[in-house]
Structure 1
Amino acid sequence: MGGFACQQCKNHCRGPHRPHVHSCPGAHGDKDVGVLPGPYPIVEDPGTCDIVKATQYGIVERCKELVEAGFDVRQPDKENVTLLHWAAINNRQELVKYYISKGAVVDQLGGDLNSTPLHWAIRQGHLPMVMLLLKCGADPSLIDGEGFSSIHLAVLFQHMPIVAYLLSKGQNIDTTDLNGQTPLMLSAQKAIGPEPTRFLLKFNPCLNAVDSVQKNTALHWAIASGNTGAVDLLLEAGASLDIKNAKGETPRDLACQSQNGFILYMVKEEERIRSRRSSRLLKIVEKYELFLLLASSLTFMWAIGYIMNSSSDSWLLKGGLLLILLFVMTLFVRQFIGYKNLRYLPTAFLLSSVFWMFVTWFFWFLPYVGSTIIEITVMICVMGLLYYFYKTWRTDPGYIRTSEEERKENIVALAEAGCLDFRTFCTSCLVRKPLRSMHCLACDSCVARYDQHSLWIGRCVGLGNHRYYLLFLFFLSVTSGWLLYGTLLYWSNHCATSYHQDGAWMYLTQIIYCSPWVFYIFSVASFHAVWTSLWLTVQLYQIAFLGLTWHERMNILMQNKSSKHPVSLRRTPYNLGCFQNLADFFQCSCFGMVKPNVVDWTKQYNLFHLAKEKNVHSV
């Protein structure tokens, strides 16, 4: 917009530069006058400076004095820049209101970039100024000298709160610039990284629109620019691989021509997945992928035990067969299990191991137990384990759900309240984030009172299912403990060896040869017993003595590493004392000793209620 650019950022922007005034958004360390503290930064003599400098520094009285003395607010300076431009660039909201009241043209074009004040407010990332100019009648659809409209500039400079506000105020997500590019195309081409593209995809843009010059889609632009994050997101969203541009090239053609092997792999993999969907048989397979994954996991675990339990004495042969089995399983999963369902592989392993543990108990250990009470106890533990696994899996963990209309209303309300930032607004879900919530990338949703995304459950653990998750851990640890007890009984009655007589190494060797299958199940049960008991202990400690979730605890620990004033884990607004913490979590009165607080964490946005409750309990 100005006549020259600083040497460090001349390729980044062409903003007006004055002594102590820098309009370049984030290119280097110079500070914009608009963010300096105090209404009057140090200047030689506020009473003698010209109106341009007074506007840049926000000296309201001097500006009013000069305007009242007859200065025309519509008069541009020697760089064809008006006072309204300077006020917008430096976020001088009071002066913008004043100049408009004195006749300033809100959509005046000026400077080398032939931009409006709104364009430069967006370049600078001044959301309050953008809101003010729009209220004063600024037209966001106007094109600047570089061919960009307001929303294109917001995407180009990656000011996502401004993008959200413009769209919520009615801007079309598929608005085109001078070259016919939509914001999605511009993001795919120039905004390296997945975040801007992921954000725009939440507003349902047209994936297969083409620009007016090269006839490229957003996917064409992403591949040509080597933007791997955007390529991945566009393919997942369903962007076409068959559309040809002006040169007759499809996205696959561009991927083959590029030097980026990862992009070519993603495109070929997506083609393979889409071709599978055209096969009737593979459609059926895709429909029942989870059951197929569970069945293959059951077979795989059985095959491991079968190979180990075979009559061959050559462990080298058994090791070779196990490697072949692993290769076959990997090939099977790659061919028949989609990428999205691969995250449930640990869950399938867990359920398969529980199944074979129970089978081993019933056929191998039950004859040696000799106690009906123990038999009933094990059955109850297994049933409890399966029940609470199902409850954890099926129960809504606390997803934050809103309609599209509510999302736009929230965006506008947060922006006008000055709270539209990443601490209060989720750019992925487009929702206002309640306290203690977190966006889960695996589930692609915000979860209230988020604890973790469980590897073994394959689901988020949050407000709705945290209690079920703890009970699942409890029953799995107890069931594993009973399996270890049954293993010891089996070895003592079935294997002709003794730890006290033969020593540790001989005893271990003998029990492995005695029944490799039992030793295999013993190893699996030991693994589950260790991790569940440790994790259950950690969870109960956090809930009872800290009043925190695992995610909150890790956040505090990470912040303490870089903070000069570390925060105590015990001194948080959520820690109301051991008994009260337990009562609130389990929603029980602890035999009448305390009264549980009922807090809807899907709609809790401030700490006032919590602080009040804490004061009451401390009294």
Structure 2
Amino acid sequence: MDWSEGDNGHSHMRDSCQHGHPGHSHSHGPRAAHAFMNPFHGQFGKNADQPMNLSQQPKKRSHMDDSSSWDIVKATQFGILDRCKELVEAGYDVRQPDKENVTLLHWAAINNRSELVKYFISKGAVIDQLGGDLNSTPLHWAIRQGHLPMVIQLMRYGADPSFSDGEGYRALHLAILFQHMAIAAYLMAKGQEVDGPDCNGQTPLMLAAQKIIGPEPTNFLIKNNASVNAVDKVNRNTPLHCAVLAGNVDAAHILLEAGASVDAENINGHTPIDLAHQVHSPLLIHMLNHIKQERIRSSSRCLRIVNRYRVFLQFLLCTAVFGSVGAIVDMNSESWLLKGILLACVIGVINLASRNFPSPAFQSLLPATALMASVFWMLVTWCLWFLPDGPSATAQVLFTLNATALLYYYLRTSRTDPGFVKDTEEEKKMNVLVLAEAGCLDPRIFCTSCMIKKPVRANHCFTCDACVAKQDHHSVWTNSCIGARNHHYFVLFLLSLVLMGAWMFYGCLIYWSTHCVLHYEEQGLWGVVSVLVSCSPWLLSVFLLAFYHTCWSSLTLLVQLYQIAFLGLTTAERTNLTLHQMKLRQSVSLRQNPHNLGVVRNLVSFFQLRCCGLFKPTVIDWTQQFPAGRDQHAFGHADMV
């Protein structure tokens, strides 16, 4: 998740937290320009609802300007500690607000002047004094501007995040509205309830669903156990009601995936579907009705059984489809019309199954179950077509070992924990507090989706929705993430699959040379293909199936071995490093990285080769290897989730 100040579609959120209020024409110079206003958030002044003219921003003041004549407000805005001390010692009361009811502590907070905050508080400044057009505290101003260090400092001095500003928003609500997720994580770690209502009775999730266009804040709150069915005090609206009223499709989709009720009624008896009709949103109407029908269907006992055994049932379906297609093309009937009709029936069955099981889980399992169905028919073909021709005992033993290794490594790849990084809720809160107060709450080190400190070389897998140690990629062929603990199994699985394809090519060639009359010089390419089709269409279909799986597996294997042996990188690291170089327009050898130990040592370390004590590979638990400081290597992935 991007912790920078982004567009939250909330320009009406206003407060007098600029360096100069509207109507002030004087310039505040370059040191204050960054905090004067955020062009994405709108102006925090009286005229905030008006379109913003960036050309009207204050002009930069020369560095040669003498600050000895500045008033204390201006000196505070620019962080001139000596001038502020001089004026305070001369008798200025730090608790005295200016003519627009803004105190010095407010100005120091919005400009992230930590030394001035410390000094003003030592001189009696009120930490939670209200000021500005919206009666905000200095903490509110710091949160709006996204100054996490200032938020931490103010809370150390006793700032109360439960105070409400003039619009009724508390600290956590403001952090969500302005999409400062690092601040939101810190506030929750300090004890702020994720479902705590503001003065209007709305939870942060309701505000995110109603006012933030985009999935990030909604997703962040749900990951932190926000209630998707909470209701506000006024209209009894749930977060889904709020999302529908705002036409926020992204938020509605996330809420529905999290289990938000489509039948909940507000104080007027309206469900989210009713509100979707009122706002005339066909997309939301279709989405809500579709989810409602899916939930009704999934409540049936039959579908519960199907979901429970969906992997096995989908494997049977793929096996039946592949077998049916092969059997149809292998029929002795010369009528291709009949075969076409039967193939159309098979396609109809596939279409019917996809319509009745359109869930993402069904779709995600399709490549893996199709691969296993292909391997099954390869084994059947070897036993029924090739074995009767009496291959040598050596070939039979080697094929059996290959098939066993293929199934073993497939199961180990898909069933082994790839290295998920796990923390308890208390550990997550402690991580946030420690990293935030150390100034290291950085997306390269901290994952805002999992709320954990990321180990070195770890990445967040969006499919698994978890951080994986030394993650390589998420494999659709095994329906699992490939990481530190199962990466070597995946490479051996690829090798076994390539060898299985080679055995099938060998068996097909032997069978065709024995049972089919092939004369390439006389028949030509098309003639040979016609003979193969008429001789054994089944074998030709199995050959093509084996060719497809051999092609992708061999290419993937070569890429994996190159990255492992010559680069010492994972796929994710190589991709991130390449993108980083493209962004900086620099060309650096991928071999120049701290994890490349040389070809032999890379392979020994990856496969944990010992060779009867000849090698001594280093055993590293990548789930526990944390970065020493703020910086990571260039290929460290900065998760924006």
Q: How does 1:64-103 map to 2 (within 5 A)?
A: 64-103=85-124
Instruction: Please report how far the alpha carbon of residue 12 of structure 1 lies from its aligned counterpart in structure 2 after TM superposition.
Output: 6.0
Q: Given the alignment of the two structures, is residue 299 of structure 1 paired with residue 320 of structure 2, yes or no?
A: yes
SS in 1 for 2:405: helix
Segment of structure 1 superposing worse, 531-540 or 495-504:
495-504
SS in 1 for 2:467: strand
- Which residue is equivalent to 2:307? 286
Distance in 1 between the 2:624 and 2:11 partners?
Answer: 46
SS in 2 for 1:164: helix
- Which residue is equivalent to 1:459? 480
Q: 1:43 to 1:216 in 2, by over 3 A?
A: farther
Q: 1:9 to 1:58 in 2, by over 3 A?
A: farther
Q: How does 1:88-487 map to 2 (within 5 A)?
A: 88-315=109-336, 318-319=339-340, 321-336=342-357, 338-487=359-508
Distance in 2 between the 1:313 and 1:560 partners?
Answer: 60
Q: Are 2:10 and 2:177, in contact at CA under 8 Å, matched by a contact in 1?
A: no
Distance in 1 between the 2:281 and 2:602 partners?
Answer: 53
Instruction: Please report how far the alpha carbon of residue 403 of structure 1 lies from its aligned counterpart in structure 2 after TM superposition.
Output: 0.4
Taking only aligned residues, the RMSD between alpha carbons, in angstroms, comes to 2.3
Q: 1:476 to 1:491 in 2, by over 3 A?
A: same
Instruction: Please report how far the alpha carbon of residue 442 of structure 1 lies from its aligned counterpart in structure 2 after TM superposition.
Output: 0.9
Instruction: Please report how far the alpha carbon of residue 60 of structure 1 lies from its aligned counterpart in structure 2 after TM superposition.
Output: 0.6
Instruction: Please report how far the alpha carbon of residue 588 of structure 1 lies from its aligned counterpart in structure 2 after TM superposition.
Output: 2.1
- Unaligned regions of 5+ residues in structure 2, if any? 1-8, 21-26, 42-52, 633-641
Q: Are 1:397 and 1:447, in contact at CA under 8 Å, matched by a contact in 2?
A: yes
Partner residue of 1:16 out of 8, 13, 18: 18
Instruction: Please report how far the alpha carbon of residue 10 of structure 1 lies from its aligned counterpart in structure 2 after TM superposition.
Output: 6.6
Q: Are 1:289 and 1:336, in contact at CA under 8 Å, matched by a contact in 2?
A: no
Q: Are 2:491 and 2:557, in contact at CA under 8 Å, matched by a contact in 1?
A: yes
Partner residue of 2:575 out of 554, 559, 565: 554
- Which structure has more relative contact order (CA 8 Å, sep 6+)? It is 2
Segment of structure 1 superposing worse, 319-328 or 66-75:
319-328
Segment of structure 1 superposing worse, 576-585 or 385-394:
576-585
What is the identity, as a one-letter code, of the residue corresponding to 1:481?
Answer: A
Q: 1:398 to 1:528 in 2, by over 3 A?
A: same
| TM-score normalised to structure 1 length | 0.92
Q: 1:260 to 1:46 in 2, by over 3 A?
A: same
Write the deviation string for residues 348-370 of structure 1: whole angstroms up to 9, x where unpaired. 10000000011011101222253
- Which residue is equivalent to 1:615? none
Q: 1:41 to 1:485 in 2, by over 3 A?
A: farther
- Which residue is equivalent to 2:601? 580
What is the identity, as a one-letter code, of the residue corresponding to 2:18?
Answer: P
Q: Given the alignment of the two structures, is residue 27 of structure 1 paired with residue 40 of structure 2, yes or no?
A: yes
Q: 1:127 to 1:43 in 2, by over 3 A?
A: farther
What is the identity, as a one-letter code, of the residue corresponding to 1:24?
Answer: M
Q: 1:607 to 1:76 in 2, by over 3 A?
A: closer
Instruction: Please report how far the alpha carbon of residue 541 of structure 1 lies from its aligned counterpart in structure 2 after TM superposition.
Output: 0.9
- Unaligned regions of 5+ residues in structure 1, if any? 1-7, 612-619
- Which residue is equivalent to 2:522? 501
Q: How does 1:501-580 map to 2 (within 5 A)?
A: 501-580=522-601
Segment of structure 1 superposing worse, 279-288 or 515-524:
279-288
Instruction: Please report how far the alpha carbon of residue 141 of structure 1 lies from its aligned counterpart in structure 2 after TM superposition.
Output: 0.6
| TM-score normalised to structure 2 length | 0.89
What is the identity, as a one-letter code, of the residue corresponding to 1:422?
Answer: P
What is the identity, as a one-letter code, of the residue corresponding to 1:339?
Answer: P
Distance in 1 between the 2:10 and 2:204 partners?
Answer: 24
SS in 2 for 1:340: helix
What is the identity, as a one-letter code, of the residue corresponding to 2:412?
Answer: K
SS in 2 for 1:47: helix
Q: Are 1:307 and 1:321, in contact at CA under 8 Å, matched by a contact in 2?
A: yes
Instruction: Please report how far the alpha carbon of residue 501 of structure 1 lies from its aligned counterpart in structure 2 after TM superposition.
Output: 2.9
Q: 1:68 to 1:393 in 2, by over 3 A?
A: same
Distance in 2 between the 1:251 and 1:528 partners?
Answer: 46
SS in 2 for 1:460: strand
Instruction: Please report how far the alpha carbon of residue 212 of structure 1 lies from its aligned counterpart in structure 2 after TM superposition.
Output: 1.8
Segment of structure 1 superposing worse, 326-335 or 158-167:
326-335
Partner residue of 1:55 out of 63, 71, 76: 76
Distance in 2 between the 1:259 and 1:384 partners?
Answer: 58
Instruction: Please report how far the alpha carbon of residue 319 of structure 1 lies from its aligned counterpart in structure 2 after TM superposition.
Output: 4.3
Q: 1:122 to 1:367 in 2, by over 3 A?
A: same
What is the identity, as a one-letter code, of the residue corresponding to 1:73?
Answer: V
Q: Are 1:91 and 1:129, in contact at CA under 8 Å, matched by a contact in 2?
A: yes
Distance in 1 between the 2:280 and 2:341 partners?
Answer: 38
- Which residue is equivalent to 2:50? none
Distance in 2 between the 1:320 and 1:353 partners?
Answer: 23
Q: 1:607 to 1:471 in 2, by over 3 A?
A: farther
Instruction: Please report how far the alpha carbon of residue 599 of structure 1 lies from its aligned counterpart in structure 2 after TM superposition.
Output: 2.0
Distance in 2 between the 1:407 and 1:472 partners?
Answer: 35
What is the identity, as a one-letter code, of the residue corresponding to 1:290?
Answer: V
What is the identity, as a one-letter code, of the residue corresponding to 2:130?
Answer: L
Distance in 1 between the 2:147 and 2:464 partners?
Answer: 33
Segment of structure 1 superposing worse, 405-414 or 208-217:
208-217
Distance in 2 between the 1:300 and 1:259 partners?
Answer: 43
Distance in 1 between the 2:10 and 2:503 partners?
Answer: 68
Q: Are 2:19 and 2:77, in contact at CA under 8 Å, matched by a contact in 1?
A: no
Q: Given the alignment of the two structures, is residue 599 of structure 1 paired with residue 620 of structure 2, yes or no?
A: yes
Q: Are 1:369 and 1:489, in contact at CA under 8 Å, matched by a contact in 2?
A: no
Instruction: Please report how far the alpha carbon of residue 569 of structure 1 lies from its aligned counterpart in structure 2 after TM superposition.
Output: 0.3
Distance in 2 between the 1:17 and 1:319 partners?
Answer: 76
Q: Are 1:573 and 1:607, in contact at CA under 8 Å, matched by a contact in 2?
A: no
Distance in 2 between the 1:332 and 1:248 partners?
Answer: 37
Segment of structure 1 superposing worse, 177-186 or 299-308:
299-308
Instruction: Please report how far the alpha carbon of residue 24 of structure 1 lies from its aligned counterpart in structure 2 after TM superposition.
Output: 2.4
